[in-house]
Structure 1
Amino acid sequence: MDEHDLEVVDAELVDDNLPAIRERTPLVPGSANDPDAWLPPEAQEDVKAGIADATRTAYEGHFQAFAKWCATEGRRPLPAAGDSVAAYISHLTRTPRERTGRPYGPGTLDGIIAAIRTVHRDRKEPVPETKGARQVVAGYRKRLSEAKDPAARPNRATPAKRDVLRQAVRTLDRTTLVGKRDAALLLLGHACATRGGELVMCDIESVTPDPEGRGIYVRVYRKKIKQWQDVDVFYDEDLELCAVRATSDLIDALADEGHTTGPLFLRMDRWGYLAPPMRRAGKPIGDPTGRMTLEAASEIVQRAMARAGQPGRWRSHSLRRGFVNSARAAGADIVDIGRHGGWADGSKALLGYIEEADAFSSRNPLAQINEAERKQRGNS
């Protein structure tokens, strides 16, 4: 039958056997009274897989601390009132932490607000209004800034530029397995501009040689943009800083130990044994494959920089920031830098790194004004 032969009838289908419809609470999509607001177990696991383990753990920790505070104040943590969130954030701005003796910084407080909102969404509870809490953070940030408190500024990792990186790798004994691992971690993290979590997730299979012998391709999962990327890494003319050679040396050394598949960066004990078992309270902990953690990667960067006598806040993220600084100093275009490092187009984070790299460079507008005036004086 042709679709034009169909007759459209504006009517209702009524079944006389159906019970009378009773008035009920208006349906709020996604709330507890929504019959479709549920997920089967496999879908719940799929949702969890889309959130980084470290983020999920941090959010749960922040919410548990909020719930504990609510219990002492006689407030309801779930679903929380917006005023409760604002009062809690205000409390945190005035409460020194045991570990540091100082309150949380504004950036962490923003994360705590996000954690409370996320846990509410995950548990299908009404998300509290957090405008008041955000205003508390804004006022706190203003007070810190006016007091010239360093806490008002983001606590960023120090960029590991090439000259600093060279000093760090020179402290390593690259004849040992540990030294080969640490050199590859420092140099490959810089060359691929990886976040620490992206770097430690690399496997031996993630590294493939370029068929034309120009270097290697490294398969990296860019967490923020949720995409895989094949990062091309060239042989470096500076042998000390060549990520291709350092990575190949590590893979060959791991093969000699019988490790030919799986994690590229493995935890090792003080004697250089691979993937030693770890226990806490008699129970196994850590990745059973021996894969290094993000924290362990940061410790490697910290130790190497400390041995090199380099002051700063050194983390695994220092390698990513250092790549931007090094590439920009070499004249690389911001678009090329962003695509190599897996930044989204127009990334504000990348623009911040670029501004940092351009400080006191020929790209600084004041430097360009001075250069133009020098040329003008020369022509007059």
Structure 2
Amino acid sequence: MTATFEAAAARDLAEQEGVPAVLDPAAAEHQVLIERWAERHGVDAARRLAEAEDLADAVAAEITPDNTVDTYAKSWRVWQRFCAASGLPEAEGSRGALVAFVAWMLCEGQQNGKGYAPNSASTHLAAAVVGLRQRGAAVSGDDQAEARAALESLAVKLLQAGERRGRGQAVGADIDGLRAIARACPDTLTGDRDRALVLTGFHYASRSQDPAGLLTGDVTEHPRGLLVDVLTGKTKHSVRTAKIAYADDLEICPVRAWTAYRTRLVAEHGQQWAAPSTPAFVSIDRWGHITGGMVPDSVTRAVKRISARAGVPIAWTGHSLRIGLASVARRAGRDSIAIADQGGWARHSRSMLGYMQREDGWDDNASASLT
């Protein structure tokens, strides 16, 4: 079989794989790859390699977290609005377009006409570059770096002009707040669930999606406490089994709070809620009816409501429990590696170290005790 025939057969194969006659850049690259394989290995091998590529794409799509997919989709819509407003083509990520995108986001990028906070603009820039590359656009690292440098410089200009954008970092949970919450929870199933949600979530540094993803079978009793299989984390480090020990302070013991909540749930609503496949944390309406499992948004709202009910000075958010574990454990002298393993951070995570710095910044401060 000649190379010319192989190439023609490879084009036929590409058409069978669904590649249109008029190709976008990504599809054209795919066709060239198939033709190269056919010339090297034959049409049958090229077909199998193409099928393997499809499988790899499917696996990548399957393992990408839903919140990452949502972020990419949202950022691509921001990019589309920018292109529509500026008259630029969506499929080109040139140096000038990326820098203009950054400036537009800080100036007027939100749908209400206001500018984004620099952190949000940074997220949209990174995700838009991913979207451009997925669609076959060539975006160089140098061009992206220049856009990011422009973003950082413009952010400094905003600070110099007195603008403070963004909500800032969430307040971290603390022990006094946990006690106030435990005391404020009513003697109802909802109150028991709230207490268990906050106390267990604090001890394994939960994000809002973590308790929402837990099943009853993911939490098992152990002679020394609980084992919590956290399977909804964003990275390989946060897919873990966290150990939660009994607390000396009975009022805020996460193990006893969990046991009381689950015992009451089964007693009031039936043995079916003890099944391993049921949600660990259920949604309960104002009349005490179970409406299903909690979702990340309902966890975030619950933590905010629970902390406000307890009179916590600054209402907690869905991330407060995660921040709190890192900062409180550091204050108590726990090793950073042990904290990282418990909370599912990489052992030198910048975000974890930033939470710890809230405490270290006082004890290790260069100006402390000089006067």
TM-score range, shorter chain: 0.7 to 0.9
Letter in 2 for 1:55: T
Distance in 1 of aligned mates of 2:240 and 2:127: 29
Separation in structure 1 between the aligned mates of residue 101 and residue 136 of structure 2, nearest angstrom: 22
Residue 25 of structure 1 corresponds to none
Cα deviation for residue 42 of structure 1 reads 5.2
Q: Which has the larger radius of gyration?
A: 1
State the match for 1:327 in structure 2.
Answer: 329
The answer to whether 1:217 aligns with 2:231 is: no
Contact 1:207 1:217 in 2 (8 A): yes
Amino acid at match of 1:165: L
Choose which of 300, 306, 309 in structure 1 pairs with 2:308.
306
Contact residue 66 and residue 88 of structure 1 kept, 8 A = yes
Give me the whole-angstrom Cα distance separating, in 2, the residues matched to 1:163 and 1:49. 41
Q: Given that residues 171 and 317 in structure 2 are in contact (C-alpha distance below 8 angstroms), is that contact kept between their aligned partners in structure 1?
A: yes
**Closer, same or farther in 2 for the Cα pair 1:307/1:339, shift >3 Å?**
same
Assess if the C-alpha contact under 8 Å between 2:238 and 2:343 holds in 1. no
Aligned residue in 2 for 1:182: 194
Matches within 5 A, 1:210-359: 210=222, 213-221=223-231, 222-225=233-236, 228-256=239-267, 257=269, 258-260=272-274, 261=276, 262-275=278-291, 290-312=292-314, 314-359=316-361
2:158 to 112, 123, 144: 144
1:79 deviates by 3.8
SS at match of 1:186: helix
> In structure 2, how many angstroms separate the alpha carbons of the residues matched to 1:132 and 1:359?
32
Q: Which structure: greater helix fraction?
A: 2
**Comparing 232-241 with 65-74, which one deviates more in the overlay?**
65-74
SS in 2 for 1:208: strand
- Give 1:183 shift: 1.1
What percent of counterpart residues are identical? 28
**Unmatched 5+ stretches in structure 2:** 8-24, 35-49
Question: Quick one: structure 1 residues 148 and 338, their matched pair in 2 at CA, closer, same or farther if it must change by over 3 Å?
Answer: farther
Separation of aligned partners in 1, 2:95 and 2:28: 19
Give 1:34's aligned residue: 30
Question: Where does structure 1 lack aligned partners over 5 or more consecutive residues?
Answer: 1-14, 23-28, 276-289, 374-380
Distance 1:354 1:19, change over 3 A: closer
TM-score, normalised to structure 1's length?
0.78
Query: CA separation in 2, counterparts of 1:298 and 1:73?
Result: 37
Tell me: CA distance 1:46–1:96, structure 2 relative to 1, closer, same or farther (3 Å): closer
- Between the aligned partners of 1:137 and 1:83, the Cα distance in structure 2 is 13
Amino acid in structure 2 at the alignment position of 1:340: Q
In the alignment, residue 219 of structure 1 is paired with which amino acid? D
2:71 corresponding residue in structure 1? 58
CA contact (8 A) 1:83 1:132 kept: no
1:202 to 211, 214, 218: 214
Give 2:227's aligned amino acid.
Y
Q: Secondary structure at the match of 2:105?
A: helix
Report the 3-state secondary structure (helix = DSSP H, G, I; strand = E; otherwise coil) of the residue aligned with 1:75. coil
Q: CA deviation at 1:69?
A: 2.8
Residue 307 of structure 2 aligns to a residue in which SS? Answer: helix
Q: What secondary structure does 2:239 align onto?
A: strand
Q: d(CA) in 1 for partners of 2:81 and 2:164?
A: 29
What CA deviation, in whole Å up to 9, does each residue of 1:262-317 have, x standing for no partner?
A: 21122222212112xxxxxxxxxxxxxx3322121111111122223323362111
CA contact under 8 A between 2:227 and 2:244: conserved in structure 1?
A: yes
Secondary structure, counterpart of 1:230 in structure 2: strand
Describe the SS at the equivalent of 1:170.
helix
Measure, in 2, the Cα distance between the counterparts of 1:252 and 1:45: 42
Deviation at residue 347 of structure 1 after TM alignment: 1.3
1:240 to 1:365, Cα distance in 2 relative to 1, 3 A: farther
Structure-2 separation of matches of 1:96 and 1:77: 16
AA paired with 2:156? Answer: K
